[in-house]
Amino acid sequence: MLVEAADRPESVLWDDWHVVAEITTLEQFGRMTSTLFERELLITREDKAVHVAYADGSGRIASTLKYGYVWASLGAGDRELVDFPEAAETDRHVLTVGSLGIRTSGLRLVENFIDVAHFPFVHTGYLGAEPDTEVQPYTIRVSADEVWVESGSCTQPMASAAAPGAAQIGYVFRVLRPYTVVLYKTNTHAPTRQDLLLLMVQPVSQERCIAHVLALVLNFEDARDIRSFQRLITGQDKPILENQRPSRLPLDPRSELPVRADAAGTAYRRWLVERGVSYGAIPPIRAVAFVG
């Protein structure tokens, strides 16, 4: 498929790797379709090899397997895939915990993921509860490669499926790519160590996406319970995200009034602007100079 430059997202997205399927789903059916940046793909498994091609038969695209997912790049695919040494630790589960389609921009989904302020209201009884709604001060570091958000600890009634009760949980978020973010979260059974949750957003279109979640969780709990808990949390976010307007993420700082609790989202939006990301967003309004 010959794609004109004007008809595709910016190269920072086009040339990167994106999850397009879970391997277990592909193994179940042998072949499946998926959509990335509005391009329909056909994914097949032959023996141990996985192939990803344009569904119209116009050619294959770069693909690889990692962490239980099929990854594809419509462009050069010249960036390294995200990598986590924790996946090799023998006392961890490495689990795909589901893929959920959501009618919103993938950028909206990432911003929601790094927003701890919504926990008491959306994830009541799990990640937060009223009246404990105050967001503790947190630290933000931004570089050309990532956004790092380290939040203060917050009280969570049930931080995981195996949580023994309410606990103070610390959060560290790292936005690694515009559509990829990892959460490091205190483990309630081993407070000196952290569980990892990786959100990999598949941009189906500018206003539709699929949330793929990978859990690198210490094995104090059953794999089925981990999957059920994380699917519950993602499912609670889905109706909130689908009712946000506009569906695309506004990048102009004047478009949505920020408060202190929105500092992480504000930093993420600014980072997207600096990287030239506009797919799934409403670009900032540029001032126009008039010459009389």
Q: Are 195 and 179 in contact (CB under 8 A)?
A: no
Rounded Cα distance, 171 and 251, in Å: 25
Q: Which residues have a Cβ under 8 Å from the Cβ of 226 and sit 6 or more positions away?
A: 93, 95, 97, 160, 161, 215, 217
pLDDT of residue 171: 84
Three-state DSSP state, 51: strand
**221-234 pLDDT tens trace:** 888 888 888 888 88
**56-83 pLDDT tens trace:** 998 999 999 999 999 999 998 889 999 9
**2-53 pLDDT tens trace:** 444 446 899 999 999 999 999 999 999 999 999 999 999 999 998 888 999 9
Quickly tell me which residue has 């962490």 as its tokens.
67
Q: How many secondary structure helices (H) and strands (E) does the chain include?
A: 6, 17
Rounded Cα distance, 59 and 54, in Å: 6
**75-127 pLDDT tens trace:** 988 899 999 999 999 999 999 998 999 999 999 999 988 887 766 656 665 66
**188-200 pLDDT tens trace:** 888 889 999 999 9
Query: What is 5-73's CATH superfamily?
Result: Rieske [2Fe-2S] iron-sulphur domain (2.102.10.10)
Task: Return the CATH class of domain 85-274.
Answer: alpha beta
pTM value is 0.88
Domain parsing of the chain, residue ranges: 5-73, 85-274
Backbone phi, then psi, for 216, in 5-degree steps?
A: -115, 85
